[in-house]
Structure 1
Amino acid sequence: MAEKKLAGQSALVTGASSGIGEGVALALGEAGANVIVNYNSNPDSANAVVEKIKAFGSKAIAIQADVSKEESVQSMFKQTIKEFGTIDILVNNAGLQKDAKFDEMTLAQWQTVIDINLTGQFLCAREAIREFLRRGPVPERSLATGKIICMSSVHELIPWAGHVNYASSKGAIKMLMQSLAQEYGDRKIRVNSICPGAIQTPINRAAWETPQALNSLMTLIPYNRIGQPSDIGRLAVFLASDDSDYITGTSIFIDGGMTVFEGFATGG
């Protein structure tokens, strides 16, 4: 049985009905946190995640919200605080891709990605910090007043042709995270980013669903395996727990070595 490092704490995970968000929500619940499973358009999947978390002995509810909409985010936080009294952990995970060649990219494709991936993190982080400041520290529950984990990507570092909107959003998340860590560190609010590489989720199915695609992907990953949502979940538990209390303002890459640029292993 997993150690209940987050017992008595409440966590909100955005975009938690599938993929990385689901993996994080399950890991936090298994570690003892009460979990709000945010979703936008798939209540059945969100409720299935809720039931899995309850099986660990933790409380969980699903809340619909569009993270790009201020009123929707504020309503979600009101429901969260009504249900669990406060929030201790925010995992800003919701994100998407709208890929196109840059010269063919529409304003709608650009704006949708920025609205969800970046503005959504701003809106959720702002509400979380407001609640952390209102509540203040609770040392018997956590050394930190509050924890925010931003889901970034290896593409906050690695440029990505054909995905300029996505890579731009992730580069901006790095500065959002670091600026918040700088601004609120003296209030014991910790803010960090997880930067996944290739993770086996529906968003990148084309990259792994055939042997040929998977073999091609492995040329980018020195560790020679694709990541799983549970890999991200375990890191999120660490960053949300007191084990990482002296870590803030940091991007942690979890990518099987993708950021060492394996293509240069035999040349350059």
Structure 2
Amino acid sequence: MQKKLNGLVALVTGGSRGIGRAIALDLSQEGATVVVNYRSGESQAQEVVDIIHASGGKAIAIQSDVTDYEQVNAMIQDIINKLGGLDILVNNAGVAKDGLIFNLEPGDWLDVMQVNFGGVFNCTKAAIAHFMSQRSGAIVNISSVMGERGWIGESNYAASKGAINAFTRCCAMELARFNIRVNAVLPGFCSTDLVTDLLAKEGNKILKQIPSRTFAKPEEVAKVVTFLATSDSSYVTGSLVTVDGGLSTPLAMGKPSV
């Protein structure tokens, strides 16, 4: 059966672990040549590349700090030179510095914003000239339901994801005439390193507020990203797609009555 992303090149930022790793593997399964971007996890990124190679796919790992536009721009040009192009950009790299607003340091919001939103801006800015010239491209931003709702201790993280959501809509408006689609995926609580501590402390309480009574698996988020990267979603742009097991559906907090 023909794979839906054969011949296409996909960049996944923060692709060495967690949701990014799952996305890289899933895009490869659909035939994409995958660039696994990492900042410091070289061995983890290479492990993802090795898994893809072992399954018959194509992948390379490239180091770049998404908070630095010059590094990002150099990475994009390197990808185009080495692989002959770029067709899909998945802005996944992210960090968290959770805490009550009263306890946060003044710089904590900026550290989170520079990675979570700054990375999305820098990578999008660096990639769109190429996408515009070929008059095609798919950008998928990994946001969070936190960007649309409130949660205690998540103010800086939620603000960064809210910025991604707004940026996604604006990008979709600006780039539609070039046949470039821009969407965001908004996971709920997903079992990754980013929320390990939170789930260890509050996991049972959180589960009671999720209608599906389960946390997301990275692979479940990845499947939605792949859908948005393929022509199956050719008429989808500017959308914020929640993958949260119904977490953002209830009207109030607490244990559902069903």
TM category (shorter chain) comes to over 0.9
Alpha-carbon offset, residue 228 of structure 1: 0.7
TM-score under structure 2 length normalisation: 0.95
Which aligned pairs between 1:229-240 and structure 2 lie closer than 5 A?
229-240=218-229
RMSD over aligned Cα atoms: 1.6
Q: Given that residues 29 and 56 in structure 1 are in contact (C-alpha distance below 8 angstroms), is that contact kept between their aligned partners in structure 2? A: no
Partner in structure 2 of residue 155 of structure 1: 146
Q: CA deviation at 1:3?
A: 5.9
User: What 5-or-longer segments of structure 2 have no aligned partner?
Assistant: none
Between stretches 233-242 and 258-267, larger displacement belongs to 258-267
| 1:88 Cα deviation from its structure 2 partner | 0.3
CA distance in 2, matches of 1:6, 1:222: 33
Alignment of 1:171-182 (within 5 A): 171-182=162-173
Structure 2 residue 188 is matched with structure 1 residue 189 = no
Q: CA 1:178/1:217 → structure 2, altered by over 3 Å: closer, same or farther?
A: same
- Distance in 1 separating the partners of 2:14 and 2:31: 20
How far apart are the structure 2 equivalents of 1:59 and 1:218? 38
Please name the residue that 1:247 is paired with.
Answer: 236
5 Å-filtered alignment, 1:88-127, equals 88-127=87-126
Q: Higher mean Cα deviation, 168-177 or 157-166? A: 157-166
1:223-259, CA deviations, whole angstroms, 9 ceiling, x for partnerless residues? 0111111001111111000000000000000000001
Amino acid at match of 1:263: M
Equivalent-residue separation in structure 2 for 1:3 and 1:107 (angstroms):
52
Question: 1:177 is matched by which residue type in structure 2?
Answer: T
SS in 1 for 2:253: helix
Q: Which consecutive unaligned segments of at least 5 residues does structure 1 have?
A: 138-144
Q: Distance in 2 between matches of 1:266 and 1:233?
A: 31
Q: Deviations over 1:126-146 (max 9, x none)?
A: 111111112x14xxxxxxx00
Runs of 4+ in structure 1 displaced over 4 angstroms? none
Q: Is the 8 A contact 1:32 1:57 kept in 2?
A: no
CA shift digits 1:176-216 (9 cap, x unpaired): 0000000110110000000000111111112444xx74322
Q: Does 1:227 align with 2:216?
A: yes
Taking structure 1 as the reference length, what is the TM-score of the superposition? Answer: 0.91
Conserved? CA contact 1:147–1:191, under 8 Å: yes
The answer to whether structure 1 residue 146 and structure 2 residue 137 are counterparts is yes
Letter in 1 for 2:253: G
Code of the residue aligned with 2:86 in structure 1: it is I
Q: Is the 8 A contact 1:190 1:247 kept in 2?
A: yes
**Do the aligned residues in 2 keep the contact of 1:73 with 1:124 (CA within 8 Å)?**
yes
Percentage identity across aligned positions? 39
